[in-house]
A and B are shown apart, each in its own frame.
Chain A
Amino acid sequence: MQEEKYLYIRKPIPRRDIDKLTGEAQFIADIEIPGALWMKLVGSPYPHARILEIDTSEAEKVPGVEAVLTGKDFPFKIGHHIRDRDVLARDRALYVGHPVAAVIAETLEAAEKAAELVRVKYEPLPYVLDPLEAMKPDAPLLHPNLGEYEHLPFLYPVPGTNIAHKFKLRKGSIKDGEREADVVVEEEYRLPMLHHSYLEPWGAAARVRSDGTIEIWTSSQGPFAVRTQLAHSLHIPESRIVVHYLYVGGGFGAKSDLFLEYLPVLASMKLNGRPVKLILNREESFYYGFHRAEYIFRMKTGARKSDGKIVFHKGEYIYGTGHAADLGSLLGNTIGWLATGPYDIPNVWIDSYTVYTNKPTTTAFRNYTHTELWFAFEQQMDILAERLGMDPVEFRLRNLIKPGASTLPTGQQISEDWGDPEGVLKRAAELIEWGKEPEQPREPWKRRAKAIVMAPKGPSMPPNITTSAIVKMNEDGSVDLLTGVAEIGQGTLNSLAMMVAEELQIPLEKVRVYGIDRDTSNTPYDWETCASRATFAIGQAVLKAVDDLKQQIKQLASQILRVDPSSIEIRDGKAVVKGEPWKALKLEEVAMGYTFPDGHAIHGQLIGRGSWVPRRTTGLDEEGRGHPLEFVTYSAQAVEIEVDILSGRIDILKAVAVADTPFINKILALGQAYGGALMGINVALREEIKFDENGKILNPGFTDYKIARAGDIPKSIIVEFLSTKLLHDAPYGAKGIGEVFLGGWPAAIANALYRAIGVRIKRAPLSPERVVEEIKKQKPDLLENIVKKLGGE
C-alpha cells in the first residue's frame, strides 16, 4: 500500500540522540549552580501524630547550616487538583516519612548531620493503613477540613470522611440486568502499592533571580506541568517561572506532575534567592516520592447462558491514594469511567472512591489504572466464561465493543477508526496457538498453561490540554524543530525528526531537534510526556508546523519561479515546479527569504508553526456522562506459563502482545513493547511496597523491592503491530504505544495459573510464596500428592 513511499517512517532508524553514550547528557545531579545549598528532609517516624514542638537549635549549630525550615514557615496548603498538601507537615504528620523539617546547608554532609539533630515532640494519634478500613465511619480522619479544600470542579470530596473523591457512573438498570442473568460472579481483587523504579531518583534545584524570576531544574516528565501546577499552588503567574529541561532517567508516571519542586523554590525564597538543591536517594524516593496506589476492586457481573452476553456489571472500585489526593483523585476518576473495559455491557453501575490512608502519596503509573483494572476485570471474564462453560476467547469475542456501533458506559461512541478489537484478540490467539494444549514438562511438580486477555489503552487526559511546535529554517537549508516534549528515555525526539525529514524530503541529518538545551520560556508549550501522547499529540503539531512552513516555501518560490503556489512540490531539498523539474530552487536559497541577483531580498526567514488540542474529548458530568477518550490503542496479550507447584515459582515461557497501531520508528516501538512487557510481567510476579503494621516501609530499596533481572526475561516475547485502520488525524496513523504494552500481564498470568492448576489468585503480586499459600488453601491435595510422588511412592 501507501507505506512503501516513505523515506523514514516505519523504518528501524537508530536513535541519533546519543548523549547518554558519550556522557554529555546532563541529569539533575550533574547540574552545578554556583553558590547552591543542599536540602535534607527530616521525616516523621509515626504514621499519624500531632506535632507538639520542633527543636531545631542543635541542628542550627552544625557548621555550614543556613536554615532549618518547618511547617510553621509555610502556613498554607498546596495542590493543583485538590489543595490538600502541607509544604512541610504543620499540625499533624500523616504518614511515616512525612517531611516535618528541611535542613539547608552548604554541603550535603552538613545537611545530613544537622537533619539527625532535629528533635520533634509528637503525640501519636490513631491511624489507618487499609483503604477499606479508612472508608468506615469511625476511621481516624486524615483531613478533617476536607470540605474546605479548594479543588477543581469535576472532583467530589466527601467531607467528614477519608473519601477525597467519589465518582459515579450509571448506565441502564442493574435490576433489569440481574433479572436476565443466569450466571453471576461476585469477587474482590487487590493490588498493592508500587514504586515506579525509575533508575534516576528524583531531584530538583531552584533559585529566585533578582528580577523575581523563579528558575527550576528538575527531573521531570513535564516541565510545563511543573510550571502550571506550581504557579497555581503558590499563586504565582506562570511567566515568572522558568523550568529547565534535563535528561530524565525514567519516570513511568512518577515524574509526570509537580513532585517536590516547591521545596527548593520556597527555601530559595526564604534565603534571598540562593540556589537550593534537593536530590533524593533511593530510600528517600520510597518515603518522599510518589507511588502507584493500592487498588481494591469489588465486582459483580452477570451473563446470559443463551448467547453468552454480559447483561450487567456493578462495581465498587477503591483507589488508596495515601495521605494526599492532589494527583490520585484523577486516577480514582479514571478507574471509574474505564469501568467495563473493551466490553459492551448494557447495564452498568460504578462507584469509584479515592481514599486517604496514612501512607505515602500516589500518582500516575505507566498505563494509568488500566493494568490494575484489567487484573480484576479480565479475571472476572475468565471466571464468567468457565461458569457459562464457554471458551474464554469465544466469550470475549461475543462481548467486545463494536466499533461504530457501541458506546462507552459514559455514552461516548466507539469510533471506527480506532481499530478492530476483534482482530487484535484473534491474532493474539493465533500467535499463542490457542486451542493447542501446551506440552507438559517431565517433572510432575511443574504444569504449563496458556491464557489470553484484552488490554487496550485509552489515554486519560484533560480535554483541553494543548501542545505546539515551531520549525525554523537555517541558512544552509536545514531545519530546527522546537517543541516542549520532555525526553524521558522514550526517544520521541527521534520520531519527531523523522516526521520533519519525511515531510520536507530532506536527509534526517538536516533536522535538528532541540532536546535538553531548552526551558519553558524559549520553547513552545507542551502539557507533559505522559498518557502515551507525545508522538501522537506533538506529532500532529509538528505536522501542522511543517505544513505551514511548506506553504510559505511554496508561496515564496511561486513568486520567484512565476507559477501558481499549487504547482510547486517540495522534494530532494528543493522547491520544484511539477512537471518542469528544471525549474527549481534549493531550500537554502529560500530559507532566509530570497535574494535577487541585484541584492534585493524578499520575505526573510521561513518559520512554520502548529498547535494541537484534542478534538473528541469533553469533561464528564456528575453521572459520568461525556467523552473521555481521544483514541484507544486496542491490544491483546497472551502467555504460556510454567508453574512449579513445589516452590510456587511462575516462569513465563512465551509472551505475546498484539497492538492495533502502526508506529513511526520500528526500533523505538519495539523498545516500548519489550520494556512494557518486562515491566508488566514483573509487576505481576514480584513488585510490592511492603509496610509493617505501623506504616513503615520494609523494602525501601532494590535489595528487597524486586525488579526482574536478565535471567528473568521470558524466553520468547512475540510483538506484533497491526494496522487495521489508520486514525486519520494521528501522525501516519500512529497512536500511542508508551503504555499499552504494560497491558494485562498480571491478569493473563493469573488466568493461566488457574488454567494450569485450578488455583485462582485475586491478589497481586503472584509471588512464589503467595502461590504456595493459595495452593495450600485451595488445592491442598495437589501439593500433598506431588510430595508423595517425590518419595517414590
Chain B
Amino acid sequence: MKVESPLTFRTTLPELEGYFRPKSLDEALSLLSELGERAKIYAGGTDLLIDMRLRNIGNKVVVDIKEINELRGIREEGDSIFIGATTTIHEIKTSSLIASRLPLLKQVVERFADQFIRTRATVGGNLCNASPAADTPLALLIYGSEVEIASVAGRKRVPIKDFFKGVKRTILAPGELVTGVRVPVPQGRQRVKYLRFDRSSEDLMIVGIAGAVFEGREPGDFEFSLSYGAVAPTPLLFKGLQDAYKRGGADEVLKIVKEKVSPISDVRASKEYRMHLVEVGTRLIIKELLGGV
C-alpha cells in the first residue's frame, strides 16, 4: 500500500510575497541584499514565469529589473563590447555592432527560440538560468567574455568559463546581480560557424556546436575553438584546438572533445544520438572552417 501525492497540474501563478521594480542599480542591489535568498530576479520572464506556474520555485519576492537603464544596451568600450544584462536577444540579433564585430554571437542568437521569446528574453537571463542548452554562452565562451557582477559589496568581473557550476547553477551568491557581459573583440580576421541540431525550426537545441578560427599576425598562425551545448551539465568550451587539428585533423580534435562531453538521454534525444551529433557536427564545422587551411 502506498500513499501518493496526487498528480495535479497548476493553471494559475502563485501569489507573490512581494513585487519591486527598482529604478536604479543601487536601489536594486540594496533590495537584493536585504531580501537575500527570498529574492527572485525578473527580467524577460521567459524562464521565470514557467518555473512559477509549475511551482518549481516557491512564493518568492520578485525584483523586476527591466526599468534600470544602465543594465540595458550594447556599447563599444575600448577593445570590447559591453552588453547590458537586460538587453533582449532581439536587440542583439538586430545590432549592426554585433553583426560586424561578433558574428558568431549573431549566428547564435538567430537560432535562439522564436521571435516571441527573442523579444522578451534577455542575455542576462539566458546566462543566469544556466540551462545546459542555453545558446548565448556558446558564442560568449569562445570570445572569452567576462560576466560583470554587482552587489552592495562592490563590482567584479568573472570569466564566463568559471560562471556556470552545474545544471541551473551558477557562482552567483544571494544579493548578487549580473549587470552585463563584456566581450573582447577579436583583433584579426575571424571565421565562425554555429551548428544547431533541433526538432523544429524554433526549438530548444538537441546539441549546439559553435566554432571559430581567429587568425593571428603571422600567416598560418590561428587559434581554433569549439563550444558545445546540451552535452554536459554546463556549456563546454575547448580553446586552442589548433595544435590537435594540425597533429591529426578532426579525429584528434574529437578525441579531446569526447573526453569531456557526457550527454544524457532525455525526452528530446538519446545519449547515443547526441554523441552521434557531436561526432558529425564537429567534423562538419571543421570541414567548413578549416577545410581550406
Contacts and interface: CB of A to CB of B under 8 A. Distances in A.
Given A686-B199, A712-B201, A769-B273, A120 B12 contact: no
A123 B2 CA distance: 6
B203 interface: yes
A686 B200 contact: yes
Interface stretch (B94-102, B217-225, B279-287): B279-287
A704 interface: yes
Nearest to A711: B201
Contact of B12 (A108, A119, A649, A708): A108
B114 interface: yes
B276 interface: yes
A43 B1 contact: no
Contacts of A281: 9-11
A480 interface: no
Given A109-B12, A710-B201, A121 B3 contact: yes
Interface string A107-120: 01100100110111
Interface in B1-42: 1-12, 15
Contacts of A712: 200-201
A23 interface: no
A690 B266 CA distance: 11
A46 B4 contact: yes
A45 B3 CA distance: 10
Given A118-B6, A121-B3, A703-B204, A790 B11 contact: no
A284 interface: yes
A283 B9 contact: yes
B291 interface: yes
Contact of B283 (A121, A279, A791): A791
Contact of A43 (B7, B199, B270, B283): B7
A147 interface: no
Given A768-B197, A787-B280, A116 B202 contact: no
A706 B200 CA distance: 7
Contacts of B268: 704
Nearest to A707: B200
Interface residues of B toward A: which range? Answer: 35 or more
Nearest to B50: A703
- Give the one of B1, B9, B273, B287 with max A CB within 10 A: B9
B11 A772 contact: no
Contacts of B201: 708-712
B53 to A, nearest CB: 9
Query: Which residue, of B10, B251, B281, B284, has the highest number of chain A Cβ atoms within 10 A?
Result: B10
B249 interface: yes
A792 B200 contact: no
Contacts of B249: 791-792
B256 to A, nearest CB: 16
A646 interface: yes
Looking at chain B's contact residues, the main secondary structure is loop
B285 to A, nearest CB: 10
Given A647-B277, A709-B202, A42 B6 contact: yes
A253 B80 CA distance: 56
A47 B230 CA distance: 31
A109 B3 CA distance: 24
Contact of B7 (A42, A686, A698, A791): A42
B199 A767 contact: yes
A396 interface: no
A700 B279 CA distance: 31
Nearest to A52: B1
Interface in B231-285: 249-251, 267-270, 273, 276-277, 279-281, 283-284
B199 A287 contact: no
Contacts of A52: 1
Nearest to A791: B250
Contact of A709 (B15, B114, B267): B114
A124 interface: yes
A121 B201 CA distance: 45
Contacts of B4: 45-46, 120, 122
A96 interface: yes
A698 B133 CA distance: 18
Nearest to B6: A42
Given A698-B267, A769-B270, A787-B283, A122 B2 contact: yes
A100 B200 CA distance: 36
A28 to B, nearest CB: 14
A284 B270 CA distance: 26
A388 B5 CA distance: 59
A101 B7 contact: no
B267 A699 contact: yes
A84 B230 CA distance: 45
Interface in B155-204: 197, 199-204
B291 A43 contact: no
B238 to A, nearest CB: 19
B278 to A, nearest CB: 12
A44 interface: yes
Given A45-B4, A709-B200, A112 B250 contact: no
Contacts of A792: 249, 287, 291
A118 B7 CA distance: 10
A731 B7 CA distance: 49
A506 to B, nearest CB: 44
> Which among B6, B203, B279, B291 has the highest number of chain A CB atoms within 10 Å?
B6
Nearest to B282: A790
A146 interface: no
Interface string A752-793: 000000000000000111001100000000000001001110
Nearest to A122: B2
A690 B15 CA distance: 32
Interface in A382-402: none
A112 B53 CA distance: 12
B8 A40 contact: yes
Contacts of A41: 8
Nearest to B266: A698
A43 B6 contact: yes
Interface in A469-499: none
A96 B8 CA distance: 11
Nearest to A770: B273
B226 to A, nearest CB: 15
Nearest to B8: A115
A101 B12 contact: no
A116 B250 CA distance: 54
A97 interface: yes
Contacts of A101: 6
Contacts of A698: 267
A96 B284 contact: no
Contacts of A700: 9
B7 A108 contact: no
Contacts of B291: 792
Contacts of A686: 199-200
Contact of B8 (A116, A708, A709): A116
A413 B176 CA distance: 78
Nearest to A644: B280
B214 to A, nearest CB: 22
Given A703-B204, A709-B202, A711-B202, A112 B10 contact: yes
Nearest to B291: A792
Interface of B: 1-12, 15, 114, 197, 199-204, 249-251, 267-270, 273, 276-277, 279-281, 283-284, 287, 291
22 contacts: A43-B6, A100-B6, A112-B8, A112-B10, A112-B11, A115-B6, A118-B6, A119-B3, A120-B6, A122-B3, A123-B2, A281-B11, A686-B200, A698-B267, A699-B267, A706-B199, A707-B200, A709-B114, A709-B200, A709-B202, A710-B201, A711-B201
List the 9 closest pairs (A to B, CB-CB), nearest first.
Answer: A711-B201, A43-B7, A283-B9, A709-B202, A646-B280, A698-B267, A42-B6, A281-B11, A769-B273
Given A96-B7, A109-B15, A686-B200, 15 more contacts: A43-B7, A108-B11, A109-B12, A116-B5, A122-B1, A279-B11, A284-B9, A646-B280, A690-B267, A708-B201, A709-B202, A711-B202, A768-B199, A787-B279, A790-B250
